C-alpha cells in the first residue's frame, strides 16, 4: 500500500533525474556498481493516538456501495468520458491525472452519465461513484506517512546535488497532488489520504555502515493528511420490521 505513494512520485523523479540515473522505489541498498543511486522509500503509515472524546478522534460513518475506475473517452468526441454501466450510484469524485481531484464546473461538466471536459484532460481520468448504503463502515482520522529520499554517491557534491534535485521534485509534486489512493482493492476495501501537507523533517549525510565505500545522504519528510479507511461488505443486513399491529378492545365485564 505504501508503494502507491512511491509509484505516484517516481515518474516525476525519473523526468528530473534522467533516464540513465539509477532510481529505485521502496527499500534499497547501496549499488554494487555505478556512480550513484537514488531511492524513494515510504517507510511507515501511522495514526496519532487520540482520546476517544477528543476533537481529533476517528469519525466512523456508514459505508456505501460504489465504483472506481479509469474512464475511456468517446472515440467520436475525445473530450467526453462516459461512465460505464457498472459505475453504480452518483458521481462522487474525478481525478486527472491520478492524485489530483478536479473541480466540477471548472474542468468538466456532468451531462447525464457523461463527463464533458472543457479542454483535453491532463492525464488518465479516474472516477469514483457512491451508491446505496452498505454493511461496513467508513472511518476518517488524522494520518501520517514517513517518506525518505536516499542518495548513494562517491563524493559529497554528487550527494548534495542529487538530493537537492530530488527533494525539490517531491516537494513540488505536492503542490498539485491532493489525494493518494493507497490501495486498489475496491470495492471491498479502500485506504486513501486527502488534505495533504508534506514537510521536511531533516537531512543527514554519512558513510553507509553497510557499504562503507559509499556516502549516503538522506532527506526525511512527513506527509500529513486525513486518512480514510472504507470497509464495504455488501448489502446491509435486513432489519426486523413490524409487519402489522392488531389492537383488540375489550369492554369491562359485568359483575353479577
Q: What is the CATH number of the domain that holds 85?
A: 3.30.2000.10
Identify which has the larger pLDDT, 249 or 63.
63
User: Which pLDDT score is estimated for 235?
Assistant: 75
Q: How confident is the model at residue 207 (pLDDT cuts 50, 70, 90)?
A: very high
User: Which pLDDT score is estimated for 244?
Assistant: 62
Q: Distance between CA 107 and CA 118 in Å, rounded?
A: 6
Is 160 part of any domain? yes
Is 211 part of any domain? yes
- Give the contacts of 15 (CB within 8 A, at least 6 positions apart): none
C-alpha cell at 145: 506517512
Is 254 part of any domain? no
Q: DSSP state, 101?
A: B
DSSP string of 155-220? SHHHHHHHHHHHHHHHHHHTTT--EEE----TTTEEEEEEEEEEEEEEEEEEEETTEEEEEEEEEE
Is 125 part of any domain? yes
56 has a pLDDT exceeding 80: no
Is 158 part of any domain? yes
User: Which pLDDT score is estimated for 188?
Assistant: 84
223 has a pLDDT exceeding 70: yes
Is 240 part of any domain? no
Q: Which residue is listed with cell 562503507? A: 212
Query: How many domains does one find in the chain?
Result: 1
Contact 167, 219 (CB under 8 A): yes
Nearest CA to 62 out of 163, 125, 138 is that of: 138
Q: Which domain holds residue 104?
A: 3-48+61-232
Assign 3-state DSSP to the chain and report helix, strand, coil percentages, each to 5.
15, 45, 40
Is 122 part of any domain? yes
Is 144 part of any domain? yes
Q: What is the pLDDT of residues 159-187, one digit of tens each?
A: 999 999 999 999 999 999 999 999 865 66
- Give the contacts of 85 (CB within 8 A, at least 6 positions apart): none
Q: DSSP state, 56?
A: T
pTM: 0.83
DSSP string of 126-165? EEEEEEEEEEEEEEEEEEEEEEEEEEEESSHHHHHHHHHH
User: Per-residue pLDDT averaged across 49-74, rounded?
Assistant: 85
Contact 180, 196 (CB under 8 A): yes
User: Which pLDDT score is estimated for 248?
Assistant: 62
Amino acid at each position: 500500500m505504501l508503494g502507491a505513494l512511491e509509484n505516484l512520485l517516481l515518474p516525476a523523479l525519473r523526468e528530473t533525474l534522467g533516464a540513465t540515473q539509477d532510481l529505485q522505489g521502496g527499500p534499497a541498498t547501496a549499488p554494487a556498481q555505478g556512480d550513484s543511486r537514488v531511492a524513494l522509500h515510504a517507510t511507515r503509515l501511522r495514526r496519532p493516538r487520540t482520546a476517544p472524546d477528543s476533537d481529533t478522534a476517528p469519525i466512523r460513518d456508514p459505508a456505501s456501495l460504489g465504483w472506481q475506475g479509469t474512464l475511456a473517452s468517446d472515440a467520436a468526441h475525445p473530450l467526453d468520458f462516459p461512465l460505464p454501466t457498472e459505475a453504480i450510484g452518483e458521481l462522487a469524485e474525478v481525478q486527472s491525472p491520478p492524485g489530483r481531484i478536479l473541480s466540477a464546473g471548472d474542468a468538466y461538466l456532468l451531462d447525464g452519465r457523461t463527463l464533458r471536459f472543457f479542454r483535453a484532460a491532463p492525464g488518465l481520468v479516474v472516477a469514483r461513484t457512491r451508491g446505496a448504503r452498505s454493511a461496513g463502515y467508513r472511518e476518517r482520522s488524522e494520518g501520517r506517512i514517513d517518506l525518505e529520499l536516499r542518495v548513494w554517491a562517491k563524493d559529497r557534491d554528487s550527494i548534495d546535488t542529487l538530493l537537492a534535485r530530488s527533494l525539490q521534485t517531491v516537494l513540488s509534486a505536492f503542490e498539485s497532488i491532493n489525494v493518494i489512493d493507497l490501495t486498489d482493492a475496491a470495492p471491498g476495501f479502500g485506504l486513501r489520504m486527502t488534505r495533504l501537507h508534506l514537510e521536511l523533517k531533516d537531512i543527514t549525510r554519512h558513510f553507509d555502515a553497510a557499504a562503507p565505500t559509499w556516502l549516503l545522504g538522506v532527506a526525511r519528510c512527513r506527509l500529513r493528511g486525513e486518512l480514510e479507511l472504507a470497509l464495504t461488505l455488501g448489502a446491509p443486513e435486513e432489519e426486523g420490521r413490524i409487519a402489522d399491529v392488531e389492537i383488540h378492545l375489550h369492554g369491562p365485564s359485568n359483575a353479577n
